[in-house]
Structure 1
Amino acid sequence: MTTRAFLTRALALPTAAVLAAGLFAGCSGNDAAADEPATSPSATATAAALTVATDGTEASYQGVAGKTALELLLQLDPTATADGEGANAFVTSIGGRKADQSKNEFWAFYVNGKQAQVGAGSYTMTDGDEITWKLETF
Structure 2
Amino acid sequence: MNTTSRRPLRALGSAATALLVAGLLAACGGATTEPEAMVSATLSAPSDAASSSAAPSDGAETFSYPGRTGATALELLLEADPSAEVTGEGENAFVTAIGGRVADDSEKEFWSLSVDGEPAQVGAGTLETEDGQEITWTIETY
Shift of 1:78: 1.0
Q: Which residue of 2 aligns with 1:49?
A: 40
Unmatched runs of 5 consecutive residues or more in structure 1: 1-39
Q: Does 1:137 align with 2:141?
A: yes
Whether 1:88 aligns to 2:92 is yes
> Which residues in structure 2 correspond to 1:114-125 (within 5 Å)?
114-125=118-129
Q: Would you say how many aligned residue pairs link Structure 1 and Structure 2? A: 97
- Matched AA of 1:52: L
Deviates more, 1:94-103 or 1:55-64: 55-64
| 1:57 CA displacement | 1.3
The percentage of counterpart residues that share the same residue type is 51
With structure 2 as the length reference, what TM-score do the two structures score? 0.64
Q: How does 1:25-64 map to 2 (within 5 A)?
A: 43-44=36-37, 46=38, 48-55=39-46, 57-64=61-68
Q: Which amino acid aligns with 2:36?
A: A
Q: 49-58 or 94-103: which moved more?
A: 49-58
What one-letter code is carried by the residue in structure 2 that aligns with 1:61? Y
> For residue 111 of structure 1, what is the aligned residue in structure 2?
115
Runs of 4+ in 1 over 6 A off after TM superposition: none
Counterpart-to-counterpart distance in 2, 1:63 and 1:76:
11
Deviation at 1:50, TM superposition (A): 1.2
Partner of 1:109: helix, strand, or coil? Answer: strand
Q: Which has the larger radius of gyration?
A: 2
| TM-score, structure 1 normalization | 0.66
Q: Distance in 2 between matches of 1:84 and 1:71?
A: 14
